[in-house]
C-alpha cells in the first residue's frame, strides 16, 4: 500500500511539474511576441479607423424594396448622378449650335452684283443677242431663249429699271431671304428639325431649322425667290421673265450663316460645367425614397449622403463612439489571433510569415466590408472564400479554420451583428477549408468552391427562415439587424454568396502559383501534374538508371500508403519518393541498384566513394530546381537521408586506416537537413527499408519485421525524426504498414513441379 501511495504521489508531482513547464513556456516573453503584439495593435487600429467616416450599414441594399417612406433628418445638398447623366445627354443632343451671320450689306452686295449689271445691260440692249453677249461677259450661262425673255422683260422696265427690277429684287433678298438665314445643303441636313443660335449684331437668336420662318437650305432658295419675286415685281412684267430672274438670283446666292465651331464648343463646355456644378438642395423632412421604390445605386448614394450629413450634424461623439467600440472588438480579434500563433503555431516553420499573411488577409476583408457598406451592397459579397482558400492551401487546416472564423466575426462587426452572414460564411468556409487541400484537380477546386457557396447560401437562407417573415420572403433587400423592418430573406443576397464563393475559387486558381511561392508549399493540385510517368526526368531515369527507377517506384508506393495511414499527404509522399534519387542520373553506375555485377567502389577509397554517394543529394536538388519541380520534391531530395552516416564506407575507412589514425564521421555524413515533415520522414524510412529488404537473401516475414524495426529504431535514436513532427505512435503505425506491404511484395511463392517428359502425362 505504501508503495502504491508513493507511486501516486510521484505521478501527481510529475503532472504538476508538467503543468508548471507549460505555464512557464506560455508566459515566457520572446522578441517575436512583442512584434506580434505591436502588429496586432496596428491591425486593430487600421481595422477600426474607417468607421470614423463610414457609417453603419443602412437598412437597405441595392435592389431592395423600401418598406416605408424615408424622409431626410437634416438639410443637405445632393447631386443626382442619374439625373445629371440624363441632363447631360439632353444637353448634348438638344444643344443649339452657334452660327455667325454675315453682315447684310456685304451679303446683299455680293449676291446681287452680277444680276444688277445684267439687268442694266438688258435694259440698255437693242436686241436679245446683245443681252446674251452681256451675260457671257458676266460668266452667266443662259439657256436658249433666255436672252430673248430678258430682253422683252427689260424692255418693259426700260424707262425705270430701278423701280421695276432692282429695288424689288433687293427687297426680296434683304427682307424675305436674309432674315431667315441661308445654310449650305450639308449643314441644313445636319441641323434639320433642330434649334440653332444665329448670332446677329452680337446677340444670339434662336431659330428652328426647316421651320416656317427658320433658316433654309441654299437649294430651297429657288422656290422662295420665285414666289417672292412674282409677288414683289410689277404685274406688267411677264411671269417667265420673273422666274428667269429668280433662277439667275439663285445661282448667285451664297450661305449667309457659317458654323461657329469654337464658340459652340466653348459654350457647350460652359453649360456642361454649370450643369455639373448644380446640387439639389434637400430640406429636412423632404421625401427621399417613397414606399415601394426599388433601391438603385443612386438612391443608396442619396441615403448615404444623408447619413453622412446627419453624422456630421451629431458632432464627433457619434463616429468616435463607433470607432472606440469597433476598436475594442477588433482588438479582441487581434489578440486572439496573436495568442493563436503564440501557442498553436509557435513550433512550426515560417510562423512569422503565416502570421503576417493571415492578419493582412483579414485586414483586406475588413476594408472590403467597409467598401460594401459605403456602396450599399450586400454583405454576402464579402470575399471570405479567399481567406479560407489561401490559408487552407498555403497553411494548414487548423489555421485556416481559425482565420475563416475570425474573418467571419469581423464581418459580423462591420455589418452590425448580421448573424445570417456569420452562419453562411462559417458553413461555406469550413466545408471549403476541409476539402480544398485534398483536391487534386483544378476543376474540382472550382466545383467545391461553388458547392461551398451553395451550402453557405442554404445556411444563410435557413437562418432567415427562422425569423418567419414570409411576407417579405421574395424581397431583394436584407435588413442589417433582427429588429429591422426591411426585407427578411434576401434571395439576391443568398445568390450573391454562392456567386461570390465561386469567384473566390477562380481567383484562387489564378493566384495559386503565388500562394505556393509565398507560403513555400506545394498544393496537391500542382503535385497532380507530376503524378504521371511522362516527366522527362522519370523517362531519363528509366533509360539511364533503371534500377534506381524501380527502387523509386517501390519507395513511392510504400511512402504513399504509410503517409496516408498516419494522416499525412500520400500524394506528396509518393511524388517526393519518385524523384528523391534523381541525383543518381549524374553517375548512375556508382549505385548498387544499377551495377552489373562489378562495383566501381572497389577501385575507390572510402572517402572518394562517400563523396560520390553524398553528391547525389546535392545534384538531385540542383536538377529538381532546374526543372522547376515543386519545393516539396526538393525538400524530399535533401531530407531523405537527413544527417545520417554512410555506415558501410565509414566502417570500411576505419578498417583500412593505419593503426592510430582517427577517422571522423563528418566525412561520411549526409549534409541534411533532417526531415521537416511527416512525409519526408516516411520517405526516409521507406527508402531505407526497401533497399535493405532488397539485399536480403531470404526475405522471410521474421527478417522483414526485424529489419524494419531495427532501421526505424536506429533513425529514431539518431534524432532523424525530431523535427518532422512524427510521433512515436505514428512511427509504429508506419512500421506496421511498411512490413505489411513488404510482405506482400516479397512473399514466398509455390514451387511448381517439373513437367513430365511424356506427352501423355505422368503416373499418379
Cα separation values, 447 from 94, 206, 501, 510, 522, Å: 53, 65, 10, 15, 20
Grid cell digits, residue 156: 418693259
The mean per-residue pLDDT over the stretch 195-222 comes to 85
Tell me the backbone φ, ψ of residue 508, rounded to 5 degrees: -65, -45
pLDDT of residue 579: 93
* Calpha distance 711→691 (Å, rounded): 11
Query: In sequence order, what E strands does 565-683 have?
Result: none
Grid cell digits, residue 359: 492578419
Express each pLDDT in 323-353 by its tens digit. Answer: 898 899 999 999 988 888 877 765 556 678 8
Grid cell digits, residue 534: 511522362
* Calpha distance 22→18 (Å, rounded): 6
* Calpha distance 105→541 (Å, rounded): 101
pLDDT at 357 over 90: no
3 state SS of 207: strand
pLDDT of residue 558: 93
Within 466-530, where are the H helices? 491-510, 512-519, 524-528
pLDDT of residue 486: 33
Q: What is the DSSP letter of 568?
A: S
Work out the percent of the chain whose per-residue pLDDT is above 70. 85
Q: Describe the crossing of helices 351-375 and 397-414 by its angle, rounded to 10 degrees.
A: 30
Q: Which residue has the higher pLDDT, 468 or 524?
A: 524
pLDDT band per the 50, 70, 90 thresholds, residue 442 = confident
* Calpha distance 179→224 (Å, rounded): 13
pTM above 0.75, yes or no: no
The mean per-residue pLDDT over the stretch 354-363 comes to 87
pLDDT band per the 50, 70, 90 thresholds, residue 164 = low
The mean per-residue pLDDT over the stretch 281-288 comes to 84
Find all residues with CB under 8 Å of 193, minimum gap 6, and list them. Answer: 208, 209, 210
Within 202-260, where are the H helices? 221-232, 239-252
pLDDT of residue 157: 67
Lowest mean pLDDT, pick from 237-251, 386-400, 507-521, 723-737: 237-251
CA torsion through residues 332, 338, 344, 345, sign: positive
The mean per-residue pLDDT over the stretch 66-77 comes to 82
Tell me the backbone φ, ψ of residue 281, rounded to 5 degrees: -85, 115
CA torsion through residues 161, 164, 169, 175, sign: positive
Lowest mean pLDDT, pick from 59-68, 129-138, 572-581: 59-68
* Calpha distance 531→16 (Å, rounded): 50
Lowest mean pLDDT, pick from 386-390, 500-504, 565-569, 594-598: 594-598
* Calpha distance 62→297 (Å, rounded): 6
pLDDT of residue 291: 83
Report yes or no: 679 and 726 within 8 Å, Cβ to Cβ. no
Q: Which residue has the higher pLDDT, 32 or 679?
A: 679
Please choose, from the candidates 302, 309, 232, 258, the residue with its C-alpha nearest in 3D space to the C-alpha of residue 74.
309
Q: Which residue has the higher pLDDT, 250 or 99?
A: 99
pLDDT of residue 10: 52
pLDDT of residue 761: 38
Q: What is the DSSP letter of 729?
A: H
pLDDT of residue 489: 39
Cα separation values, 481 from 266, 289, 543, 613, Å: 52, 20, 69, 69
Express each pLDDT in 120-159 by its tens digit. Answer: 777 777 677 777 777 777 777 777 777 777 777 777 766 6
Grid cell digits, residue 331: 482588438
pLDDT band per the 50, 70, 90 thresholds, residue 79 = confident
pLDDT at 578 over 70: yes
Residue 604 has, within 13 A of its CA and on its CB side, a CA count of 14
pLDDT of residue 624: 92
Report yes or no: 183 and 257 within 8 Å, Cβ to Cβ. yes
Q: Describe the crossing of helices 728-745 and 546-565 by its angle, rounded to 10 degrees.
A: 130
Grid cell digits, residue 168: 424689288
pLDDT of residue 308: 76
* Calpha distance 185→211 (Å, rounded): 15
Lowest mean pLDDT, pick from 1-10, 173-182, 237-246, 446-455: 1-10
Report yes or no: 563 and 572 within 8 Å, Cβ to Cβ. yes
Q: Which residue has the higher pLDDT, 341 or 712?
A: 712
Report yes or no: 140 and 132 within 8 Å, Cβ to Cβ. no
pLDDT of residue 349: 61
The mean per-residue pLDDT over the stretch 693-704 comes to 82
Q: What is the DSSP letter of 375?
A: H
* Calpha distance 172→229 (Å, rounded): 7
pLDDT at 703 over 90: no
The mean per-residue pLDDT over the stretch 216-223 comes to 81
pLDDT band per the 50, 70, 90 thresholds, residue 617 = very high
HEC readout, 231-288: HHCCCCCCHHHHHHHHHHHHHHCCCCEEECHHHHHHHHHHHHHHHHHCCEEECCCCEE
pLDDT at 32 over 50: yes
Lowest mean pLDDT, pick from 373-382, 387-396, 464-473, 656-665: 464-473
User: What mean pLDDT, rounded, does the chain reach?
Assistant: 80
pLDDT of residue 475: 43
Find all residues with CB under 8 Å of 472, minimum gap 6, and list them. Answer: 67, 486, 487, 488, 489
pLDDT at 180 over 50: yes
Q: Which residue has the cell 536506429?
A: 714
pLDDT at 283 over 50: yes
- Say if strands 203-208 and 195-200 run parallel, antiparallel, or are unpaired: antiparallel
Please choose, from the candidates 485, 65, 63, 481, the residue with its C-alpha nearest in 3D space to the C-alpha of residue 289.
65
Lowest mean pLDDT, pick from 242-246, 284-288, 377-381: 242-246
Report yes or no: 138 and 238 within 8 Å, Cβ to Cβ. no
Residue 250 has, within 13 A of its CA and on its CB side, a CA count of 20
pLDDT at 84 over 50: yes
Find all residues with CB under 8 Å of 141, minimum gap 6, and list them. Answer: 135
Query: What totals of helices (H) and strands (E) does the chain contain, helices first?
Result: 31, 10
Q: What is the DSSP letter of 65?
A: B
- All structural domains of the chain, each given as residue ranges with its CATH number in brackets, are 98-259 (no CATH), 352-525 (1.10.1760), 545-745 (1.10.3210)
pLDDT of residue 759: 42
Q: What is the DSSP letter of 629?
A: -
Amino acid at each position: 500500500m505504501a508503495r502504491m501511495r508513493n507511486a501516486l504521489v510521484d505521478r501527481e508531482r510529475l503532472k504538476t511539474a508538467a503543468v508548471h513547464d507549460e505555464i512557464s513556456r506560455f508566459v515566457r516573453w520572446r522578441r517575436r511576441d512583442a512584434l506580434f503584439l505591436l502588429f496586432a495593435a496596428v491591425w486593430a487600429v487600421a481595422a477600426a479607423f474607417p468607421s470614423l467616416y463610414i457609417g453603419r450599414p443602412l437598412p437597405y441594399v441595392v435592389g431592395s424594396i423600401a418598406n416605408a417612406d424615408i424622409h431626410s433628418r437634416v438639410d443637405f445638398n445632393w447631386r443626382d448622378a442619374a439625373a445629371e447623366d440624363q441632363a447631360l445627354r439632353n444637353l448634348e443632343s438638344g444643344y443649339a449650335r452657334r452660327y455667325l451671320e454675315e453682315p447684310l450689306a456685304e451679303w446683299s452686295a455680293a449676291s446681287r452684283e452680277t444680276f444688277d449689271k445684267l439687268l442694266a445691260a438688258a435694259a440698255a440692249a437693242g436686241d436679245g443677242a446683245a443681252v446674251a453677249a452681256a451675260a457671257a461677259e458676266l460668266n452667266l450661262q443662259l439657256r436658249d431663249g433666255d436672252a430673248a425673255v430678258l430682253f422683252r422683260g427689260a424692255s418693259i422696265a426700260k424707262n425705270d429699271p430701278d423701280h421695276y427690277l432692282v429695288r424689288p429684287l433687293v427687297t426680296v433678298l434683304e427682307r424675305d431671304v436674309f432674315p431667315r438665314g441661308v445654310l449650305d445643303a450639308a449643314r441644313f441636313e445636319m441641323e434639320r428639325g433642330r434649334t440653332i443660335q444665329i448670332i446677329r449684331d452680337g446677340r444670339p437668336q434662336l431659330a428652328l431649322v426647316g421651320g416656317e420662318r427658320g433658316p433654309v437650305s441654299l437649294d430651297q432658295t429657288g422656290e422662295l425667290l420665285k414666289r417672292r419675286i412674282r409677288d414683289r415685281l410689277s404685274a406688267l412684267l411677264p411671269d417667265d421673265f420673273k422666274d428667269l430672274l429668280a433662277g439667275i438670283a439663285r445661282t448667285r446666292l451664297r450661305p449667309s450663316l457659317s458654323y461657329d465651331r469654337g464658340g459652340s464648343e466653348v459654350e457647350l463646355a460652359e453649360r456642361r460645367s454649370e450643369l455639373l456644378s448644380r446640387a439639389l438642395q434637400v430640406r429636412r423632412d423632404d421625401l427621399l425614397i417613397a414606399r415601394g421604390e426599388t433601391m438603385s445605386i443612386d438612391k443608396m448614394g442619396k441615403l448615404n449622403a444623408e447619413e453622412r450629413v446627419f453624422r456630421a450634424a451629431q458632432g464627433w461623439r457619434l463616429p468616435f463612439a463607433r470607432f472606440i467600440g469597433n476598436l475594442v472588438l477588433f482588438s479582441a480579434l487581434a489578440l486572439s489571433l496573436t495568442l493563436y500563433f503564440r501557442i498553436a503555431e509557435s513550433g512550426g516553420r515560417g510562423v512569422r510569415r503565416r502570421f503576417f499573411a493571415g492578419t493582412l488577409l483579414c485586414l483586406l476583408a475588413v476594408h472590403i466590408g467597409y467598401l460594401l457598406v459605403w456602396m450599399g451592397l450586400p454583405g454576402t459579397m464579402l470575399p471570405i472564400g479567399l481567406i479560407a482558400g489561401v490559408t487552407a492551401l498555403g497553411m494548414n487546416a487548423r489555421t485556416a479554420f481559425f482565420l475563416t472564423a475570425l474573418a467571419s466575426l469581423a464581418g459580423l462587426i462591420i455589418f452590425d451583428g448580421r448573424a445570417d452572414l456569420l452562419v453562411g460564411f462559417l458553413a461555406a468556409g469550413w466545408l471549403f477549408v476541409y476539402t480544398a487541400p485534398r483536391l487534386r484537380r483544378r476543376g474540382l477546386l472550382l466545383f467545391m468552391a461553388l458547392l461551398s457557396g451553395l451550402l453557405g447560401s442554404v445556411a444563410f437562407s435557413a437562418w432567415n427562415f427562422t425569423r418567419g417573415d414570409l411576407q417579405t420572403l421574395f424581397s431583394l433587400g436584407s435588413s442589417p439587424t433582427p429588429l429591422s423592418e426591411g426585407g427578411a430573406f434576401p434571395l439576391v443576397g443568398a445568390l450573391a454568396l454562392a456567386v461570390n464563393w465561386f469567384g473566390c475559387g477562380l481567383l484562387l486558381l489564378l493566384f495559386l502559383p503565388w500562394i505556393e511561392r509565398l507560403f513555400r508549399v506545394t498544393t496537391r493540385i500542382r503535385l497532380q501534374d507530376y503524378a504521371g510517368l511522362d516527366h522527362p526526368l522519370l523517362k531519363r531515369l528509366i533509360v539511364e538508371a533503371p534500377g534506381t527507377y524501380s527502387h523509386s517506384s517501390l519507395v513511392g508506393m510504400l511512402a504513399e500508403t504509410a503517409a496516408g495511414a498516419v494522416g499525412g499527404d500520400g500524394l506528396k509522399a509518393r511524388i517526393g519518393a519518385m524523384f528523391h534519387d534523381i541525383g543518381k542520373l549524374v553517375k548512375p553506375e556508382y549505385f548498387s541498384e544499377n551495377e552489373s555485377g562489378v562495383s566501381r567502389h572497389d577501385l575507390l577509397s572510402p572517402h572518394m566513394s562517400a563523396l560520390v554517394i553524398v553528391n547525389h543529394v546535392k545534384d538531385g536538388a540542383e536538377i529538381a530546381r532546374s526543372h522547376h519541380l515543386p519545393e516539396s520534391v526538393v525538400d524530399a531530395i535533401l531530407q531523405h537521408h537527413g544527417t545520417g552516416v554512410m555506415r558501410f564506407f565509414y566502417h570500411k575507412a576505419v578498417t583500412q586506416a593505419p593503426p592510430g589514425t582517427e577517422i571522423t564521421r563528418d566525412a561520411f555524413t549526409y549534409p541534411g537537413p533532417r526531415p521537416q515533415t511527416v512525409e519526408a520522414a516516411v520517405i526516409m524510412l521507406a527508402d531505407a527499408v526497401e533497399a535493405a529488404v532488397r539485399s536480403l537473401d531470404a526475405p522471410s516475414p521474421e527478417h522483414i519485421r526485424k529489419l524494419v524495426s531495427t532501421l526505424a529504431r536506429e533513425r529514431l535514436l539518431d534524432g532523424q525524426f525530431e523535427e518532422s513532427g512524427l510521433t512515436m505512435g505514428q512511427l509504429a503505425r508506419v512500421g506496421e504498414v511498411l512490413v505489411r506491404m513488404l510482405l506482400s511484395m516479397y512473399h514466398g511463392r509455390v514451387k511448381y513441379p517439373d513437367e513430365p517428359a511424356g506427352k501423355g502425362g505422368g503416373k499418379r
